[in-house]
A = this chain, B = another copy of it.
Amino acid sequence: MKNVVIAGTNDVSNEIAKSIANSLSADICNPIYKTFPDGESYIRIPCEINGKRAIVVQSLVYPQDKSIIETILLGDAIKELKAEDQILVSPYLAYARQDRVFLEGEPISIRSILNIFKEYYNMLFTIEIHKEESLKYFGKPSINIRPYIYMAEKIGFDKRNIAVLSPDIGAIDRAKSLSSYLNCEYDYFVKSRDRVTGEITMQPKELDVKGKDIIIIDDIISTGGTILKASQILRSQGARKIYVMVSHAILLNNAEEKLISSGIDKIYAANTLPKKDKVHYIDVGPFIASNLTAYLN
């Protein structure tokens, strides 16, 4: 089946779409996007789709709800154009953190979103969803792509004196997996609360970081509060270089400035969200493409 890669609304999706199309040697289709004066979104796909596999690349960036509706409108238009297969690549899935009812009366937002997408797409590829179990709500085949080893390869860390740390025990698998590629130690941070001051401190469970280069690995970085605390303790314990490596760099309120000035040497992120200065992005398009090749056909 012939593939055609359809670029989503935003710059992020555009860049990844181009990269995927290149890697697959597939045609790329750039839909027409506009907003009507009353605020409604308009899309049109001016490409030959009939009988092809349409691969829509749409990262659900801010404004997320608009990105979601556009994903659905693209799905509707592709169906109308009689695509043979409809695949969604959504490098960043919004609403993934509302993955259960924390307080009675809440929705499971990620369920709602994936439930909608399944009406229009036969398979879903995403980069590191917050909880992999959430993908069950899509109800069709889906692939959660973990980009860390691919990213590490592209970054080319000096492996001689390095170690990997995850911010908590829950995310230890990420650290473990990356460490096995780097052939190095790994550990996680334990948090404790001072009984008198109430202050939360954190430190590596067992790892001696002195003189080592440390990679703090996480799926998403939002306010950066935890990473900030982690980097301070690493610095005080004599770590040499401190790197942060995440899939999704949201970095609210220029959190990256605070992180860099607190002594973090480099922040590495996949290119799933809008770009920030001071963050080093790794284009995960080719890696998504190789996953598409592996799972499709």
The size class of the interface chain A forms with chain B is 35 or more
In the bound complex, residues from chain B placing their C-beta under 8 Å from that of A76 are 107-109, 111-112, 115
Given A43-B106, A105-B47: A65 and B69 within 8 A (CB)? yes
Given A37-B252, A39-B64, A101-B80: A73 and B116 within 8 A (CB)? no
- List the B residue with the shortest CB-CB distance to A45: B105
In the bound complex, residues from chain B placing their C-beta under 8 Å from that of A119 are 115-116, 119
Provide 16 A-B residue pairs closer than 8 Å at the C-beta atoms, listed in order of the A residue. A37-B252, A38-B250, A39-B62, A39-B63, A39-B64, A40-B94, A40-B98, A40-B109, A44-B106, A47-B105, A63-B66, A65-B66, A65-B68, A76-B108, A76-B115, A80-B107
Q: A95: CB under 8 A from chain B?
A: yes
Number of copies: 2
Distance between Cα atoms of A112 and B72 in the complex (Å): 7
| Contact present for B106 and A77 (CB under 8 Å) | yes
Q: A157: CB under 8 A from chain B?
A: no
| Contact present for A107 and B65 (CB under 8 Å) | no
Q: A200: CB under 8 A from chain B?
A: no
